[in-house]
Structure 1
Amino acid sequence: MASLEALQSDNPLLKSWTTPFELPSFESIATGHYRPAFDIALAEQQAEITAIAGSDDAPTFENTVAALERSGAALKRVGGVFFNLTGAHTNDALQAIEREMAPLLAKHRNSIFMNEALFRRVDMLHQSKDHLGLSAEQLRVLDRYHTIFVRAGARLEEGDKKRLSEIVERLATLGTQFSQNVLADEKAYQLVLETEEDLAGLPSFLREAAAQAAEDRGLSGKYVITLSRSSIEPFLQFSSRRDLREQAFKAWARRGEGGGTTDNKAIIAEMVRLRVARASLLGYETFADFKLADTMAKTPQAVLSLLQEVWTPARRRAMEERDDLQSQAQSRGDNIVIEPWDWRYYAEQVRIAKHNLDEAAIKPYFQLDRIIEAAFETARRLFDLYFEEIRDFPRYHPDIRAWKVTNSTGDFVGVFIGDYFARSSKRSGAWMSAFRSQEKLIGDVRPIIVNVMNFSKGGRGEPSLLSFDDARTLFHEFGHALHGLLSNVTYPLLAGTSVSTDFVELPSQLYEHWLSQPDILRRYATHYKTGEPLPEDLLARLMEARNFNQGFATVEYLASAFVDIDLHRLTDVDNFDAEAFERTSLDRIEMPREIIMRHRTPHFTHVFSGDGYSSGYYSYLWSEVLDADAFNAFEETGDAFNADTAARLKRYIYSAGNLRDPAEAYKAFRGRLPSPDALLVKRGLAAPVTSET
C-alpha cells in the first residue's frame, strides 16, 4: 500500500500547479486520480475539524471560525475541478465516481455541522458576539456559520441527527442520479434530417449548425437536431414540417419520464418524501418554509404573492398572443389548432408580420466572438476591467478559451474561462462556476471563474451565430462571472455568488440590460460576412420587439415556479405522483394548454439535481424585481454607464459577496427596496407610469 506522502506527491490534484495563473493542470489529471484525491482531502479536513472541536483553548473567532474557514483547502481544490467537469465534460467513469462521492460528501458535511463540540464553540461565540470586538465582516461570517449549523441540525438530539444524516445522504445520491438520467436522455436523442423535405423552412445558419452536429456524431452528410436548447428551439421556430416539430418537441418535453432506467418519477417521489421529513425534523411545517427562511422572500406566502401578481397579466397577454398565432395559421390556410409544438413556428411569422423582424435576418449580426467582446467592453466601461486572451493554457476540452482579467492600473483580477459549445458530454443549460474563489484569508487568492453555455457550433469554417436570446444568455452568465471576478472579501464563506438564491440572480439579470444599449449593439452587432453594423432600421425594430411573445415567456417560466413552490408546500406525500401533481398544480393556475412549463418536473434539474433551487425557482423573478429597479437607477441619470452609479453597484453588489444581508445590500446601492412595478413595465405587461407637470 502506497504511503500518504507518495499518494499526495503522485496525484496532480494534490500538488501545486505550475501552470499559467495556477490553472488546474487538466492535461495531467486522469480519472483515476479523483477518488484517491477525495479520500485524502476528506481525511485532511476531518483531522482539521477534530483539532478545532477538541481544542482545550477557549473558543475565539481565530481558533474556531477562522480555523473553520481555513479547513478543507484540498477538498475545495479537488471538488472544484471534479464537479466542474461532471457538469461540462463528463463520461461514464466520472459519473460513477460522482455517484460514489455524493453520499460520502454529504456524510462529511453532516459530520462537520452536526459536530456537537464544534457547534458548542460556535454557539458560545455567537452568544457573546457583541463583546468580541469583531469587524463587521467577521460578525457576518460568525452569523452565517451559526445559521448553517442550526439549519444543518446541530441542535437536534442524537437520534434525530442520525435520521437527518441519512436523509441528507440519500438526497445527495438521488439528486446525482436525477441529473445523470436527464443528461442520458438528452445524449441519447437525435432527430436525423436527410432530405430537402426534412429541412423545409430551416435557414442556412440552422442547417450549418445541424450539419456540424451530425458530423460530431459521425453522420457526415446528414443533419442532426439535438435536445440542446440552442438546437431544438430554432428548429421549432423555423421548421415547416409540423410532424417533425411534434416529434422533436415531445422528446424534449418528456426527458426524464420515458420509462426504463432513466425515468425520474420514482426519484422525485422519494425526494419529496425525504424533504418533507427533513423539514419536519428541523421544526418547519413544510420544506418550502425551511428553504425560504434563509432567503430574502422568507415565506412561501411572499413568493406566491409575487408569482400571482405577475401571473394574471402574463396569462392575459399569452392568451392574446395565442389568438394572434391562431389567426396567423388560418390566414395561411393551415387548418390546425395551435399546439405547444406550433407556438414558436407561428410566433416567428407573427413577429415578421407585426415588426418586420425575421430571426434569420438578425442572427448573422450576432457572432459569438463579437458578443463576447461586447460583454467585455461593457465590463470595462462599468467596472474598469480588461480582458487579454490566454493562448497557451491547460484545457479540459479543446473548445474552451481563457482570458486574463486586469484593471486599468494593471492589477491582476482573476482568470475568466469560456466554454461555449454544446456537446454530448455536457449537461444542458448555461451556468457560471468557479475553479477557485476569491479570498484574502490565506493570502490574496484571485478567482478562476468559468461560464458554460450550450450554443450550436457554426458549420465548418463558419462562425457560431447567436439568436438575440442566446446573446442575452451570454450576458446573463457573464453577469454571474463578474460577481465572482469582482469579489472583494476576506473570508471564503462570503465570496462572490455565495449569497441568497433570490439575490444571486440580480447581478446576472441586471447585466442583460446592457446588451440592449444601442451603442453596444451598433458597435458589436456586425454582419459576419460583410462586417457592416446592424442597420439602424433593423436595430429600431429589434428594440421595438423586445417584449414580443413576452406573455409566452413569462407563463412558461411562472408555471415552473408555481409547480416548484406548490410541490414543496406539501405535507401529505405518502402516495406522491409527480405527473398527477404537476397536472393539478397547473390546473389550479389555469395553465394555457398551448404552453408547457419551461422545465417540466421529470427534468427540472434546478429543483431536483441537488437542493440549489428547490423551493427557489421563483428566485429569477424575485431578482428581476430588483434588476428592473436597479437599471432604472442608471436610466434616471440619463447614462447607462453613469460612473457614480456603477461605482455604487460595484461596491455594494458585484464585489460585496455576502458581506451584508441582501435587503441591506440593495438598499445601500439604491436607497430603498423596489416594488414589482418596474418588472411589469420591463416585461411589457404594464404601461410605464408617467408624471404630469
Structure 2
Amino acid sequence: MKTHLYLGAAAAALLLAACDPAADAPAPAPGPQAEEVEANGATHEALADNPLLAEWNTPHGAPPFSQIQPEHFIPAFEAAMETHRAEIEAIASNPEAPTFENTMLAMELAGADLGRIWRVFGNLTSSASNDELDAVQAEMSPRLARHSSAITLNADLFARIDAIHQNVEQLGLTAQQARLVEVTHESFVRSGAQLEGEDRERFAEIRAELAGLYTRFAQNERRDSELWTLPLSSEDLAELPSDIASAARAAGQARELDTPVITLSRSSVEPFLQQSPNRAQREQAWRAFYNRGNNANEFDNNDNIRTILGLRLEMANLLGFETFAHYRAAGTMAGTPDAAIALMEQVWEPARARALEEKADIAALMAEDGVEDDVMGWDWRFYTERVRAERYDLDEDEVRAYLDLENMIAAQFYVAERLFGVRFTERDDIEVYHPDVRVWEMTNAEGEHLGLFYGDYFARQGKRSGAWMSSFRPQNGITGDTPIIINNCNYNKPDEGEPALISFTDATTLFHEFGHGLHGLLSNTEFPSLAGTSVDRDFVEFPAQVYEHWFSQPYILERFALHYETGEPMPAELLERVLEAQNFNEGFSTVEFLNSGFVDMAYHLDTNPSEIDVEAFETEVLTRYGSPQAIPMRHRSTHFLHSFAGEGYAAGYYSYMWAGVLDNDGFDAFIEAGDIFDPETAARLKDVYSSGNTIPAMENFINFRGREPSVEPLLRNRGFIEAEG
C-alpha cells in the first residue's frame, strides 16, 4: 500500500515523485504560519518575504510561479519542517488520552506548509528543472527522508495511533474515520514504527540513503538523455514524414543547434525508429535510447541499482519480510509476489506466440529488402509500420493528420462531461511555470468551482521523460480545498504555427493521464490522506486505463478525429482500418511490458543484490522466459524510473497488467449496458474516482462491477483469444 503522508507529503512523496504518473501524496491542511518559526538562523523578515511561506492570493490558491525562485526552497523547507516537528511533538506529547480528534485529525492538519512547498518543488524538478533545482533536490531529499522517518519512528506518536487502532470498534467512528485509522496504522507499521533500538536507527538511515539514491538515479537518467542528439541532414529530413521533420527542427532550435536533431525523448526517437529508412541511423538512435544511464560516464546508474536493491532488501528484512518484493506485495490487491508473477505468466505465452508471428512477418519483409541480418531492435518498429501499411493499408502520417492535439484535448474533456457532468473552461489568468503549460477550471453543471487542471504536453530540456499525473494540491474535505491537478506528457513540439499532430498511441496516453487526473479532480473524501490516487499501487492504474477505452470508440473518433487542414472527420473507411489495426503489434507491446515486469520482480526477489551484473541479470531473466532477442525491456534497468527513482512501482511494475485486467473487464460494463455513456454505469464509475482510499480496492471494484474481475476481457481485447460467439 502506498505510504500516506501525515509526516509530510514532502518526504515520502519525494521518494515517489520521479517514478509514477500518479505518484502523488495528499498534502496536510493548513497549520501555524511559518513566519512564526525561525530555522537555521533565518530571520523572521526573510521568511516572511518568502513566497512559498506566504498566503497565495491567487485565483483558487494556485501557485504564484513568477514569485518563486530556486533560492526560496531550502529556507522554506527548513522553516516548514521545524513547524511540522513542533506540531507532531505537540500531538505525541499530549497528556490527554488519545482520541480521533486529538491524534488522527490533528495529524491530518499538520504539515500544511511542508506539503504545499513539496508539491511546487516536486513538480518543478520533474517538469522544469535546472542545475539550481537539481542541487536543492540532492541536498533536501535525504533531509526530508530523515524528517519523515523521525515521525514514523516516533514511539510516543505511534503508541497513540496504536491505542486508537486497538479500540477502533468501540469508538463509534464513521466509516471514513475508521478507514483513516486503519490506513495510518498500517502505514506506520510498514514505515518501521514497531522497530526498536539499533534496528529503528538503521531503518531511518536506510530511508535517508535511499532518498538520495532515488534523486541521483532520476537526475542521471535525465542528464544522460540530454547529452545525446542525432543530427539530421536535409536529405535525412526529406525521407521522414513532415511532422517528424518539423519536430526535429524544433528540437534543434530549442537546443540552439544549427541542425535538426532527434533526441532521446520517447516522442522523438520512437517515431524516428518507425519511419526512418536509414538502418544505420536507426541503430544509433536505438542503442542510445536503450543505453541511457548505462554509458560508463558520470551519469551511469549500474552502481546505484545495486546499492538501491541492497538497501531495499535490508529494509524489508528489518520489517520481517523475506524480500522487498514480499514487503511491497503485502497489502496490495495481488497480496504476494507469486500472485503478481502468475498473472504475468498467464498473459506471457499467448503474447509471446503473437510476437513470434509478428517477427516472422518482419523477417519476410527484411529478406525482400535484401537485409540478411536477424531482426534487431532497430528493425522492429520500422518494419512493423511496413507490415501495418500492407495489411491494413495504413499510413501513420495519414492517421496523425486527423489527431490534432487540440482536438484530442477537447475529446478528453468531452468524455468527462458526458460521463461525470463536469465542465472544463480554459483560464489565461492563472500563472504557469513555463509558456507551454495551460490551465483549465473544472466546474459542475451549475458552474460551481471544483478544481484546476494544468496540462504540460511538450518535451523540452529540464523535463523528465514519460507521462505522469501529479498535483499542486489534493482535495481536502476538512478545509474544503479543491484539487489542483497536473498532467505531463512529452509530445514533440512542432514548428511555430504548425499543429501538434500526435499518434494513436500518444492520444491513448493523453486519455490515460487524464484518467489519473480525474481520479484527483473528482476526489470527494473527508480526509486528504485518503483522497484521490492514494490507493493500492495495483489499483491506481484502473481509473487511468479504463478511461483510455473511450478514445478508441467510433463515436469519439468520428466527432474529434478531424483533419488538421480541412476540418473534415476521418473517413469511415480509414476509421474502420484504424480500429481493425488496434491489436496489431500487440504481441510486441505486451512482451516488451512483461519483460520489464519480470525483471523488476526478479530484482526484488533476489537475496544477493550486491553481486548483480545488471546487463547479465536482464539477459538471464529474459532468456529464462524465451523472450525474442529483438524485443528488449520497455524500460531498461539503468533508466527504469518506475523501479529505481522511487518506490511507487518498485516490485510493482506488474500493476499495469493487473489494472489491465480491471480496466478491460470494467469497460465491458458499458458495453453490456449498450451505451458507452450509460448513466447508471457512469455513476458507479464516478464513485470509484471519487472514493479514493475510503474503502479497500477490491471492494471498490466489486461495487462498480458487481463481481470480482475476470482476465478474459483483457485476453480477448488484445486479440490473444477469440471472442465468444
TM-score (norm 2): 0.94
Cα distance change on mapping 1:316 and 1:3 into 2, 3 Å: closer
Residue type matched to 1:367 in 2?
Answer: D
Q: Does 1:20 pair with 2:55?
A: no
- Provide the residue aligned with 2:469 in structure 1: 432
Q: Which of 187, 190, 193 is 1:151 aligned to?
A: 190
| Aligned-pair CA distance for 1:574 | 3.5
Question: Where does residue 329 of structure 1 map in the other structure?
Answer: 366
Residue of structure 2 equivalent to 1:575: 611
Determine helix, strand or coil for the equivalent of 2:433: coil
Q: Which residue of 1 aligns with 2:21?
A: none
User: Structure 1 counterpart of 2:240, which letter?
Assistant: L
- Asked if 2 retains the 8 angstrom alpha-carbon contact of 1:113 and 1:119, the reply is yes
**Paired position in structure 2 for 1:60:** 99
Give the AA of the match of 2:136: I
Q: CA deviation at 1:572?
A: 2.2
Give the 5 Å matches for 1:590-609. 590-609=626-645
Deviation of 1:523 (Å): 1.1
Q: SS of the counterpart of 2:611? A: coil
Describe the SS at the equivalent of 2:75: helix
Deviation digits for residues 67-119 of structure 1 (CA, Å, limit 9, x no counterpart): 01110000000001000000000000100110111111110110111100000
Contact 1:502 1:620 in 2 (8 A): yes
1:134 match:
173
Corresponding residue for 1:247? 284
Aligned partner (choices 400, 412, 434) of residue 363 of structure 1: 400
Distance 1:134 1:440 in 2: 17
Query: Which digits, 9 at most, give the CA deviation of each residue in 1:158-190, with x for residues without a partner?
Result: 210001111111111111100000000111111
- CA offsets per residue over residues 268-318 of structure 1, 9 Å max, x none? 001111111111000000110001102111101101100100000000000
Could you tell me how far apart the structure 2 residues matched to 1:340 and 1:290 are? 35
Alignment of 1:518-529 (within 5 A): 518-529=554-565
Matched, 1:90 2:129: yes
What is the aligned partner in structure 1 of residue 711 from structure 2? 676
Report the counterpart of residue 217 of structure 1 in structure 2: 255
- Give me the whole-angstrom Cα distance separating, in 1, the residues matched to 2:619 and 2:554: 43
Correspondence list, 1:150-229, <5 A: 150-196=189-235, 198-199=236-237, 201-220=239-258, 222-229=259-266
**Which one-letter code corresponds to 1:261 in the other structure?**
E
Residues 591 and 3 from structure 1, CA distance in 2 versus in 1: closer, same or farther, beyond 3 angstroms?
Answer: closer
State the secondary structure of the residue aligned to 1:12: coil
Partner SS state of residue 435, structure 1: strand
1:612-632 residue CA offsets vs partner (Å, 9 max, x unmatched): 110000010000100000000
**Relative CO higher for 1 or 2, CA cutoff 8 Å, sep ≥ 6?**
2
1:449 equivalent in structure 2:
485
**1:655 and 2:694 aligned:** no
Match of 1:32 in 2: 71
In the alignment, structure 1 residue 413 sits paired with structure 2 residue 462: no
Code of the residue aligned with 1:127 in structure 2: it is Q
Distance apart, 1:360 and its partner CA: 0.9
1:542 maps to a residue whose letter is V
Distance in 2 (alpha carbons) for counterparts of 1:253 and 1:568: 22
Distance 1:358 1:267 in 2: 42
Q: Deviations over 1:29-75 (max 9, x none)?
A: 01110000000010010000000000000000000011011100000
Deviation at 1:3, TM superposition (A): 5.8
Distance between the aligned counterparts of 1:666 and 1:175, measured in 2?
Answer: 32
SS of residue in 2 equivalent to 1:451:
strand
Counterparts of 1:362-511 in structure 2 under 5 Å? 362-441=399-478, 443-511=479-547
2:116 aligned with 1:77: yes
Q: SS of 1:423's equivalent? A: coil
SS at 1:568's partner residue?
A: helix
2 CA distance for matches of 1:541 and 1:402?
35
Task: Tell me whether 571-580 or 158-167 shows the greater mean CA deviation.
Answer: 571-580
Counterpart of 1:435, as a letter, is: F
Encode CA deviations 1:247-272: one digit per residue, 9 max, x unaligned.
01100000001012100000100111
- SS at 1:365 equivalent: coil
1:344 aligned to 2:381? yes
SS in 1 for 2:261: strand
State the one-letter code of the partner of 2:109.
R
The residue identity in structure 1 corresponding to 2:212 is T
CA contact (8 A) 1:505 1:620 kept: yes
- What amino acid is aligned across from residue 476 of structure 1 in structure 2? H
Q: Aligned-pair distance for 1:195? A: 3.2
CA distance in 1, matches of 2:442, 2:286: 41
State whether structure 2 residue 652 is matched by structure 1 residue 616.
Answer: yes
- Partner of 2:487, secondary structure, is strand
Q: Retained in 1: the 8 A contact 2:307–2:610?
A: no
Q: CA RMSD in A?
A: 1.0
Contact 1:200 1:239 in 2 (8 A): no
CA distance in 2, matches of 1:259, 1:574: 18
Name the SS for the 1:14 alignment partner.
coil
Q: Normalized against structure 1, the TM-score is what?
A: 0.98
SS of the equivalent of 2:499 reads: coil
Alignment-mate amino acid for residue 64 of structure 2: S
- Give, in angstroms, the shift of residue 336 of structure 1: 3.4
Q: Once superposed, which parts of structure 1, at least 4 consecutive aligned residues long, lie more than 4 Å away? A: 1-4
Q: In 2, Cα distance between the equivalents of 1:580 and 1:279?
A: 25
Q: Deviations over 1:336-381 (max 9, x none)?
A: 3211000000000000100111101100100011000000000000
2:534 partner SS: coil
- TM superposition shift of 1:581: 1.2
Alignment check: 8 A CA contact 1:199 1:239 kept: no
Shift of residue 685, structure 1, vs aligned partner? 1.1
Instruction: Name 2:699's counterpart in structure 1.
Output: 664
Aligned sequence identity (%):
50
Per the alignment, in what secondary structure is the counterpart of residue 63 of structure 1?
helix
Aligned residues: 686
Shift in Å at residue 332 of structure 1? 3.3
1:683 CA displacement: 1.1
1:271 maps onto 2:334 in alignment: no
Counterparts of 2:679 and 2:46, CA distance in 1: 52
